[in-house]
């Protein structure tokens, strides 16, 4: 029983360390890159609206392939682009204009096309088809100031609490050993 408890305790400890390191990595890379973290030419983006449902659900994360010629896209491709207010939008191309210099886009769940055509220079990348539902909520929270603080502080408190428990248990064992030794010498 004691061995099982110790093993579970060690697993929990290493799990907390792993969570803390992952949080540091995600938040650190995100902040250093201005929330534009790129892995091997792919960026992970959070989906905050339902304009592309049911294919891409609100709260999902998606992978976007960045780089290359932004005039290469064709009708039916799903792209992520910067709107006039610097907000990122992921929509499907419904029409290509001026040999790929402009794209008319539309969200799959929307009734009509977007008001303004997208300039090729505003395209960030192409949606790859990779999506994980609901993780976007966590990702969005983690990249916020409050989320970064929580993801750094909360595991730290757990580690601190765990350390206090280990120290108390060790002191209790030392005290018991000293007590046993004192009784054995009398």
38, pLDDT greater than 70: no
46 is catalytic: no
Predicted confidence at residue 29, as pLDDT, reads 61
Q: Which CATH class is domain 36-142?
A: mainly beta
Among residues 110, 40, 36, the alpha carbon closest in space to that of 80 is found at 36
106 touches 97 (CB < 8 A): no
Average pLDDT, the chain: 80
Predicted confidence at residue 39, as pLDDT, reads 65
41, pLDDT greater than 70: yes
Name 23's Cβ contacts closer than 8 Å, sequence gap at least 6: 142, 151, 152, 155
For 120-148, what is each residue's pLDDT tens digit? 888 888 998 888 888 777 777 776 778 77
66 touches 42 (CB < 8 A): yes
For 60, 79, 91, 97, 113, the CA distances from 76, given in Å and listed in that order, are: 21, 9, 10, 14, 13
9 touches 161 (CB < 8 A): no
For 147-159, what is each residue's pLDDT tens digit? 777 777 777 788 7
| Domain spans of the chain, in order of start | 1-32+146-171, 36-142
Predicted confidence at residue 26, as pLDDT, reads 64
d(CA 147, CA 137) in angstroms, rounded, equals 11
pLDDT-derived band at 30 (thresholds 50, 70, 90) equals: low
186, pLDDT greater than 60: no
Predicted confidence at residue 59, as pLDDT, reads 85
For 48-72, what is each residue's pLDDT tens digit? 888 888 888 888 888 888 888 888 8
Catalytic residue among 49, 51, 60, 74: 49
């Amino acid at each position: 029983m004691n061995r099982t408890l110790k093993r579970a305790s060690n697993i929990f400890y290493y799990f907390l360390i792993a969570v803390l390191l992952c949080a540091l990595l995600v938040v650190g890379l995100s902040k250093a890159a201005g929330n534009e973290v790129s892995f091997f030419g792919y960026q992970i983006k959070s989906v905050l609206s339902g304009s592309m449902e049911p294919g891409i659900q609100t709260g999902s994360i998606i992978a976007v392939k960045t780089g290359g010629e932004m005039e290469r896209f064709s009708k039916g491709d799903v792209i992520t682009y910067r709107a006039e207010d610097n907000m990122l939008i992921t929509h499907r191309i419904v029409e290509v204009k001026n040999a790929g210099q402009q794209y008319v886009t539309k969200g799959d769940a929307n009734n009509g096309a977007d008001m303004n055509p997208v300039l090729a220079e505003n395209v960030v990348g192409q949606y790859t088809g990779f999506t994980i539902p609901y993780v976007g909520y966590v990702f969005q929270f983690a990249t916020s100031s409050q989320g970064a603080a929580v993801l750094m502080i909360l595991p730290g408190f757990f580690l601190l609490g765990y350390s206090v428990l280990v120290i108390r248990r060790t002191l209790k064992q030392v005290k018991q050993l000293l007590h046993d030794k004192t009784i054995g010498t009398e």
